[in-house]
Structures are given as structure tokens and as C-alpha cells.
Amino acid sequence: MDIVLINSFKDFKGLEKKWENLTSIEAHNRDYYLSYNWFYALLTCSESPPENLHILSVFEDDVLIAIFPLSIYKKKYRGINIKSLEFIGNIYSPLRGPIYFKKRQSDIAHCIFNYLLDKKNSHWDVLNFTELSKHDSLSLLLTQLLASNSKNYINSDSCSNIISDISQFTNSGLYFKSLSKKLRQTIRTGLNRAHKDFNLSIRLSKTSMDNIEHVMDHYYDVYDNSWKVQEEDSTFHRNLAHYLSGQGKLRIFVLYSHDTTEEVIPNLHWDSEILLSGPASGLDVPIAAIFMIVHEGIAYYLKTSYRESHAKLSVGMILFWHAMKYLIDIDNIKTIDHQKGSEQYKLKWGCVHEVRYNFKIANPRKLKARLIILFEAMIIPVLKRLRKTALSYKQP
């Protein structure tokens, strides 16, 4: 096996066809967050994309059999400058890891292990892998090899991944009946309460013909008036929406309220179809929004928000149900991936698919890295326990 280091955007683009070919055969995972398109979006739509690409492409007889999309991030840890080797991603990357031919994971793991620990490749201080799947056998093998070679590592659970398996339902009506009685009633009650004060409609945007810029203005209007904290990257989702619309993978659902005197399509009910596209007029108020990616039968629930002033009307639940209805009946989606977190509202629609994990290890050749991981693994937990004990004594 030969490893080729990709450290420029130009060379990354040169991998596109081989990358796509790898994911079209027996790759371990065809998740959108491991596709070439997602990494291209991260590198072109972000305000601050990674600058030090360190993508490891593994070839056998000139055939690409694995990709480790890595980057070296320059960081400070308690005032100490370090080089952190990580999978490329941002806060909106719920899954990270390698892409590989699944029948060769053992050989690939040993090849990458030897490469990373080779003296001439020791450009990193700390290897910090996050959001890894426990279903990813290559990552498990590699982290086990690394851990067996050093005591300076930390292995910890990261987050839950929740999915809704809707493959068994031939239409949305059957799926609706499968939901709990309480959830069905919440949707109907929210609609009835809302109709006392205003009319409702939903618009779907998915192509460049839908005036994506205006749609995103409405998306951010909802977000800025929700309970959520300010976006870390203020332009990422706007840029991503334009990018996805060109691929046919964008789905943005927006729920609008209308004055009761305004003439719109028949008022929204639990079984209403989504008939309108693009943003509503300036007179209509966006009150909830969902940003989704669709890819190979899966809808990824990337972002959602609703106006805090409308929380009691369950507008988030109302919009999500109608989005589900469209995805099942029109897009023929088989799985909804709710991604990071195990929030209660997600568990109403799906169940925990897996718990993802983080793995951090010091470069055995770097003393400062070994000391950092030792401090983080041994000293910090003790300090936290002491602080917790001290606080408990202070309580009356």
C-alpha cells in the first residue's frame, strides 16, 4: 500500500472522481458527511476553512482504497502552542472518520498506524479524533493500535445519534398513525390554537429558482428570534444552501403566519400538502424553519428553529411533521437522521442509533504533548471531583 499526502485544495479537487468511485463500491459508509461533496462544502462555504490540509489517500496498485480527510489545526492549550491532527469538519459535522474499502480495514489500519508514528511524518503533537462511529471498524482498529502503543490517550463517548426508520411505511398517513397519541394530539392542538389568531402556510425551497438568498433571510429571521445562540459561522448555512441547491440536495421548509384577512391557500391542517415554493411575501411572518440535506434515501436534519414567541403553539412540531410528510410521500425518504444529541423532542420521532466517541492521543515523540494528555486525563478529573466536593459542603 502507498500513502499519498494531499495538502492543497487543488490536489483535493483532483481526488473527486476516485473518491466518488470509492464510495460507489463497497465502502463502509455512504453517509453524506463522508462524501466528497460535504468536504468540498466545508472548504468553500466556511468563513475560516482549514488551512493545513493533511489528507491521507491510500492506494493499492494505483487504486484508491481509503481516504483519511485530515487537517493539522494550530491551537493553544492552556497557553501552549500545539498542532492538532483532526478529521476535517466543523460544529455542523455530526459524523467524522475515514472512507474506505471495507474488506481491507485491517491492512489499512496498520498502514496508517505505521505512517502516523514514522519519525518523518511526526508533524503533529496531538491526534484528536471526534464524532467517530462505533460502527466504523477501521477507526476502531486504528485507535486500538494507537492506544496499545501509548498510555497517553483519552477515549470518551461524544454524543448520541438518533434516527427515524420510516422504510416500513408506504405513505405518510401510516407513519402518522404510528406516532404516539400524545404527539399526534400536540400537532392538532397547536394548529387549532394557531388558527384562532392567524392563518398558516408552509413553503419549500430546494433549487436556485426558489430565490435562495431571500429564503435564507427568512431562515435567519426565525433563527435570530429563537432561543438559539448566535451562529459561530454567520455565512456557512447561507453559502451551503446555494451549494446544495445546485446539487438537488437542499430542502428548506419554512412555516409562515398570515393575517386572517389575507387570501392564501386553504389553511394548514395536519394532512395538508406542501404546495408552495420559494419565500413568502414581505407581509407574511416566518415563524419556524428547518434546513435539511437529502442524500441516497436519507434526510439529514441539519438545523431547526422557531420563534420563541410562538413556542406554546408547537410550531416546530407542526413544521417537522409536514416536512416528514413531504419527505415520505414525495422524496421517498427511508431514514431521517436527527444527528447530534438526544434531546427529548428528537426521541419523540426516533430512537438512538448509536453513541459516537472521541479519541485523543499524544504523539509519543513529543514531550509537551504527552504532558498535556497526562494533565487532561489524570489531573483535570481529580480537580473536578475536588471542586464538586467543595461545592457540596457549601450547600446548606
Residue 196 maps to which CATH number? 3.40.630.30
Same domain, 23 and 141: yes
If you average pLDDT over every residue of the chain, what do you get? 90
pLDDT band at 393 (very low <50, low <70, confident <90, very high): low
Is residue 67 within 8 Å of 99, Cβ to Cβ? Answer: yes
Is 348 within a domain? no
Neighbours of 373 (CB within 10 A): 23
Same domain, 369 and 250: no
Q: What is the mean pLDDT of residues 296-303?
A: 92
Same domain, 201 and 68: no
Give percent of the chain with pLDDT exceeding 70.
94
Is 210 within a domain? yes
Q: What is the mean pLDDT of residues 143-159?
A: 90
Is 69 within a domain? yes
The per-residue pLDDT for 27 is 59
CA distance 210 to 277: 6
Same domain, 186 and 230: yes
Pairing of β 126-132 and β 80-87: parallel
pLDDT band at 396 (very low <50, low <70, confident <90, very high): low
**pLDDT per residue as tens digits for the range 53-98:** 999 999 999 899 999 999 999 988 878 899 999 999 988 899 999 9
Judged against a pLDDT cut of 90, whether residue 150 lies above it is answered with: no
CA distance 38 to 44: 10
Tell me which residue range forms the domain holding 154: 2-160+355-394
pLDDT band at 29 (very low <50, low <70, confident <90, very high): low
Is 339 within a domain? no
| Stated pTM of the model | 0.90
Q: What is the mean pLDDT of residues 20-47?
A: 87
Is 327 within a domain? yes
Last residue of a domain, one of 301, 333, 365: 333
The per-residue pLDDT for 246 is 93
The per-residue pLDDT for 241 is 96
The per-residue pLDDT for 64 is 93
Judged against a pLDDT cut of 70, whether residue 262 lies above it is answered with: no
CA distance 206 to 216: 12
Same domain, 154 and 172: no
Beta strands in 110-249 (DSSP E): 126-132, 153-165, 199-205
Is 346 within a domain? no
Size of the chain, expressed as the number of residues it contains = 396
Give percent of the chain with pLDDT exceeding 90.
63
Q: What is the mean pLDDT of residues 99-121?
A: 92
CA distance 61 to 213: 46
To which residue does cell 397547536 refer?
A: 190
Residues 6+ apart with CB under 8 A from 196: none
pLDDT band at 26 (very low <50, low <70, confident <90, very high): low
Is 321 within a domain? yes
Same domain, 35 and 182: no
Same domain, 149 and 181: no
| Total count of domains within the chain | 2
